């Protein structure tokens, strides 16, 4: 039983990590807490749904398209709205992204209606040694792991990635070194939106798509990055896996109802013992 549950924990943990990495990026670089992260994920899910149902595409192949589309949306949001609150007190960015989130959810309700949509693509499981490996969840896991790994490689080894990390460490020094900080901000928000969209696209195969599906993901991502250390990118990975495992183990040994409680208790404990998160704050 424990083996089965550990598998589920790792499978959902990878998805948490991927989505939360987006939130961590924005927070790290701009100190903006993006409440609209979940609704951006929802838009990614709708992209997959429409490409699957209207154009008959394989939903897993729509992942890069959803990511590219939401990258553009993210850049536009940054260019028109979010850049205004980058240097403002944190409450302003909270209010702004909260507003964006409400607007996105309601626009989605208007445009797509609140009907529940689903992408029925692969169901069932592979059974290996008595343990069931859910097909859709496992494929989603592989995609999430690959995208997260690519994002890390990008941050670590490319010039742009280094520029993003430099901006995150110290904006002034980055400016002095000739980095176009405004452009880095655009890129960061786009990249973060793309990560959310990727998560949404993968989720579309697992759960129903509807305008309010994103809300819970904002909170989960928030939980993950605080656990791992806000603005710390490997921390998002650790936090994601941890959240996935804790939720599943709590469901097994206590009840499913208590799994969220346990996750938040863990958050409080971590904040008490290591206020900056498990891997510490904004180091990159």
Partner 1 sequence: MTRKTLGLLALAAVVLLSLPASAQGPIRIGASLSLTGTYAKLGKNQHEGYQLCIKDVNAKGGLLGRKLDLVVYDDQSLPATAVRLYEKLITEDKVDGVMGPYSSPVSEAAANVTEKYKKIMVAPLAATTSIFRKGRKYIFMVISPAEGYLEGVVDMAAKRGLKTIAVVNEDTLFSKAAAAGAVELAKKKGMQVVFSEAYPKGNTDFSAMLTKIKAANPDVVVAGTYFDDAVALTRQMKELSVNPKMYGVTVGGDLPEFYDTLKQNAEYIYGATQWEPTLPYPGNQEFFETYKKDFGHEPSYHSAAGYAGCILYGEAVKRANSLDAEKVREQLLKLETKTIFGDYKVDQDGFQLAHKMVTFQWQGEKKLTVWPDELAQAKPRYPTPPWAQR
Under the binding rule (CB under 8 A), the answer on residue 206 touching partner 1 is yes
Whose Cβ is closer to partner 1: residue 15's or residue 179's? 15
Q: Min. distance of Cβ 216 from partner 1 in angstroms?
A: 4
- Which whole-number Å values give the CA distances from 258 to 9, 168, 218, 222, 249, in the listed order? 16, 36, 20, 19, 11
Binder among 41, 52, 247, 284 for partner 1 (CB under 8 A): 247
- Which structure tokens are listed for 270? 């971590």
Among 173, 212, 265, 275, binds partner 1 (CB under 8 A): 212
Q: For residue 269, with 0-12 CB atoms within 10 Å meaning exposed, 13-18 middle and 19 or more buried, which class applies? A: exposed
- Tell me which of 12, 62, 188, 232 binds partner 1, using CB under 8 A: 12
Instruction: Select the residue interacting with partner 1 from 255, 264, 269, 271 (CB under 8 A).
Output: 255
Q: Which stretch binds partner 1 (CB under 8 A): 75-83, 169-177, 211-219, 272-280?
A: 211-219
Name which position in 84, 115, 177, 182 contacts partner 1 (CB under 8 A).
115
For partner 1 (CB under 8 A), the number of binding residues is: 41
User: If binding is defined by CB under 8 A, does position 98 make contact with partner 1?
Assistant: no
Nearer to partner 1, 264 or 275 (CB): 264
Q: Which of 72, 88, 142, 207 binds partner 1 (CB under 8 A)?
A: 207
Q: Which is nearer to partner 1, 103 or 116 (CB)?
A: 116
- Residue closer to partner 1 by CB (options 140, 236) is 140
Q: Per rule CB under 8 A, is residue 221 in the interface with partner 1? A: no
Of the pair 117, 274, the CB lying nearest partner 1 is at 117
Return the residue of 78, 134, 167, 284 that touches partner 1, per CB under 8 A. Answer: 134
DSSP annotation string for the chain:
-HHHHHHHHHHHHHHHHHHHHHHHHHHHHH----TTHHHHHHHHHHHHHHHHHHH---GGGHHHHHHHHHHHHHHHHHHHTGGGGSSS-HHHHHHHHHHHHHHHHHHHHHHH-S--B-------EEEETTEEEEHHHHHHHHHHHHHHHHHHHHHHHSHHHHHHHHHHH-HHHHHHTT--HHHHHHHHHHHHHHHHHHHHHHHHTTS-B-TTTTHHHHHHHHHHHHHH-TT-HHHHHHHHHHHHHHHHHHHHHS-HHHHHHHHHHHHHHHHHH-TT-TT-SS--
- Closer residue to partner 1 in complex, CB, 77/243: 243
Does 103 engage in binding with partner 1 (CB under 8 A)? Answer: no
Rounded Cα distance between 65 and 117, Å, is: 19
Question: What residues make contact with partner 1 under the rule CB under 8 A?
Answer: 1, 4-5, 7-8, 12, 109, 113-118, 120, 123-125, 127, 132, 134-137, 203, 206-208, 210, 212, 215-216, 247-249, 251-252, 255-257, 259-260
């Amino acid at each position: 039983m424990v083996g089965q549950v550990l598998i589920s924990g790792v499978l959902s943990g990878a998805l948490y990590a991927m989505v939360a990495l987006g939130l961590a990026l924005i927070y790290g670089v701009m100190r903006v807490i993006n409440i609209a992260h979940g609704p951006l994920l929802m838009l990614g899910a709708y992209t997959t749904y429409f490409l699957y149902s209207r154009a008959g595409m394989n939903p897993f192949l729509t992942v890069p398209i959803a990511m590219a589309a939401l990258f553009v949306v993210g850049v536009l949001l940054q260019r028109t709205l979010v850049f205004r609150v980058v240097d403002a007190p944190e409450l302003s960015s909270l209010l702004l992204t909260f507003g964006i989130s409400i607007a996105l959810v309601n626009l989605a309700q208007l445009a797509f209606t609140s009907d529940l949509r689903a992408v029925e693509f692969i169901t069932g499981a592979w059974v290996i040694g008595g343990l069931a490996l859910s097909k859709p969840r496992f494929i989603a896991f592989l995609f999430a792991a690959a995208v997260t790994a690519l994002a890390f490689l990008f941050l670590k080894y490319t010039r742009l990635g280094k520029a993003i990390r430099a901006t995150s460490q110290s904006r002034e020094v980055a400016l002095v070194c000739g980095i176009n900080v405004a452009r880095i901000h655009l890129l960061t928000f786009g990249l973060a939106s793309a990560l959310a969209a990727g998560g949404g696209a993968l989720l579309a195969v697992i759960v129903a798509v509807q305008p309010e599906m994103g809300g819970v993901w904002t909170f989960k991502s928030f939980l993950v990055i605080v656990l791992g250390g806000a603005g710390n990118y490997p921390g998002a990975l650790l936090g994601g896996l941890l959240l996935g495992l804790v939720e599943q183990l709590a469901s097994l040994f206590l009840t499913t109802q208590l799994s969220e409680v346990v996750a938040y208790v863990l958050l409080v404990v971590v904040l008490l013992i290591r206020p900056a998160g498990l891997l510490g704050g904004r180091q990159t």
